[in-house]
Amino acid sequence: MEITHLRYFKKTAELEHITKAAQELHVAQPSLSRTISMLEDELKVKLFNRKGKSIELNEYGIIVLNHTNRILKELEAIHREIDDARENSVMNVTFSMNAASTLIPRLVRGFKEEHSDIRLHILQEDLVGDSGQSCDLTLFAGSQPVSGPYCTTLIEEEIRLALPVTNPLAHFDSLTLDQVSKEEFICLQKGKNLRSITDAYCKMAGFDPNVVLESDSPETVRELIRAGIGISFIPILTWQDMEDEHIALVPISTPHCRRYINLSWRESSYLSPAAILFRDYLIKHFAELVK
């Protein structure tokens, strides 16, 4: 049983389509079909139920796929551990930061003060499919907490409405979302974690926000609110220093607007010592935010 055969089988099992799998693997379709047949002959069972031109993973195929995933993850872990041993003088951590980006300077500075020998590679992008698995650690926001062997919730934070003080609603002790349904909003772009969460809360309140401007920069959002262009949603822990004499942060009474900052790490049997240090640092840092 060859590793290449297992890789070919994995892709075919995931797509359940010989032609599409062959295209993604950049191999000829007859060659891929022969590889699958050789694997089935070796195991003495069929791995797919064939229905005309389509295929479907059967009970034997599911067993083989589960073991294949573990085997390939172990192979990846071997390469990573050898790389770490070879480059023990310079340790690298790849970190995907899809939320709380305003904290990047403070996070990096604090960690580098403790571990100057560790090199951080920080990516800022939203999660698409399994893209988070290409990084050692991924920070992301969600409307629900997470819990598992490869993830944890770091903090729960309140989302408030940020209004220019010239807006009459800015002087309320709290607001319901339906009270601002006619307001003009300044939001992040569609697909961003925070935007998806706040859009869902607006839908719960029975409206779609009238978005007049989109910006991925908290600093730009703040200046636009100050200028009276519109109102916005602000997470009060991770978007710090937003409130001043020109901007009021008003609590939302209904619905209960919260988001969770979550951390996940590579789902393999090996996480480098540098990545473990950075993971533990992040957990500690965010715990200090809520004190």
pLDDT in tens, 48-71: 998 776 788 999 999 999 999 989
Split at pLDDT 50, 70, 90, the class of 203 is: very high
pLDDT in tens, 209-227: 999 999 888 888 889 999 9
List phi, psi (to 5°) of 238: -90, -25
Instruction: Indicate if the pLDDT at residue 126 is higher than 90.
Output: no
pLDDT at site 89:
45
What's the whole-number average pLDDT of the chain? 87
Alpha carbons 193 and 195: distance in angstroms, whole number: 6
Q: CB–CB of 153/260 below 8 Å? A: yes
Element (H, E) at 105: helix 104-114
**pTM across the whole model:** 0.66
Instruction: Indicate if the pLDDT at residue 129 is higher than 50.
Output: no
Q: CB–CB of 64/9 below 8 Å? A: yes
Q: Which residues in 204-223 are b (16+ Cβ under 10 Å) and which e?
A: ebeeebebeeebeebeebbe
Lowest mean pLDDT among 163-172, 196-205, 236-245: 236-245
Task: Indicate the SS3 state at residue 188.
Answer: coil
Q: Tell me what percent of the residues of the chain surpass a pLDDT of 90.
A: 47
Residue of 151, 10, 149 lying closest to 75 (CA atoms): 10
Averaged pLDDT, 149-178: 94
Split at pLDDT 50, 70, 90, the class of 261 is: very high
Residues contacting 206, CB < 8 A, separation 6+: 178, 181
pLDDT at site 232:
95
Amino acid at 247: I
Q: CB–CB of 144/117 below 8 Å? A: no
Instruction: Indicate if the pLDDT at residue 202 is higher than 80.
Output: yes
Element (H, E) at 290: none
Instruction: Indicate if the pLDDT at residue 267 is higher than 60.
Output: yes
